[in-house]
Amino acid sequence: MPEIYDWPGRLRQLAEFVGLDQSELDLIKSTSFAVLKNADDMTAAVYDNFLRFPETRRFFLEADGEIDEDRLTRRKHSLARWLRGSIDFKIDADYPVRVLATGIVHSHPPSHRAHLGSIPSRFMVASMSFIQTALADVLWAELDDPDLAMRASIAWNKVLMLQLDILLAGYVSETPTEPVSQQNPEDPAGPDARTDVTRLEEGGDD
Ligand code: HEM
């Protein structure tokens, strides 16, 4: 029986690895007024940056090449909702599954934008870096205590990296399971079954 992949276990393991503890999650909450005050500006900045580069801009264009303002506004709201939600980040069973679903939306384009393909994973990484920088700037500017700003920024960095790990896991094409060691005896294709492609690569059947 294959093992279902343990996303909460993975999150707990990495939280321990980076040393993310409850006091840091509390710090994110207690300084959240600074982030909430600037959440819309931060998400606007992320999207302005997307529009600067053709490879990210193309996800927000209409067929005639003009910016699809409605879509852009909806996407800004999604990102702002995600950012506000991250203030309540929890190392629990639900959080990683929700992040995984968000990752899959980016890696597996739905039919209405299938022609655009996946959002390249490098832009997921780069966006996270952009957001980390924006958060650090906001915390530095809004909090009177620079030590507090630095510690809050460190806590955010950990939370965002743990989310990035799972967002990128949405880019693998299969959920890892234990290796299957035995051929299904009821499978008509035996262990030597080869695809047409394999046969063609070997020179065809004749
Ligand atoms: C830190 C990285 C990112 C985060 C946290 C993020 C977050 C989100 C969230 C929460 C949604 C809504 C998902 C849903 O409806 O279930 C979304 C949708 C979307 N995002 Fe992102 N996003 C990120 C990076 C990007 C990048 C780099 C692009 C492209 C340049 C992008 C383009 C989109 C698009 C096109 C959708 C709509 C998906 C659809 O067709 O339903 N996102 N994003």
CATH of 7-173, picked from 1.10.490.10, 3.30.70.3290, 3.90.550.10, 2.40.10.10, is: 1.10.490.10
- Mutating to test ligand 1, I would choose from 56, 74, 76, 102 the residue with most ligand atoms within 8 A of its C-beta, which is 102
Which residue, judged by its Cα, is nearest atom 3 of ligand 1? 124
Query: Which pLDDT tens digit goes with each residue over 1-54?
Result: 445 678 999 999 999 999 999 999 999 999 999 999 999 999 999 999 999 999
Helices 7-18, 146-169: axis angle to 10 degrees equals: 150
| 170 bridge partner residues | none
pLDDT attached to residue 204? 39
DSSP state letters, 164-189: HHHHHHTTSSS---PPP-S--TT-SS
Kindly give the distance from the C-alpha atom of residue 63 to the centroid of ligand 1, in angstroms, as a whole number: 20
**Prediction pTM value:** 0.84
Question: Residue 67 — φ and ψ, nearest 5°?
Answer: -70, 135
Handedness of CA 125, 167, 106, 137 (dihedral sign): negative
79 lines ligand 1 (CB under 6 A): yes
Query: Which pLDDT tens digit goes with each residue over 115-155?
Result: 888 999 999 999 999 999 999 999 999 999 999 999 999 99
Boundaries of every domain in the chain: 7-173
97 vs 4, more confident: 97
Q: Which atom in ligand 1 lies closest to the alpha carbon of residue 109?
A: 40
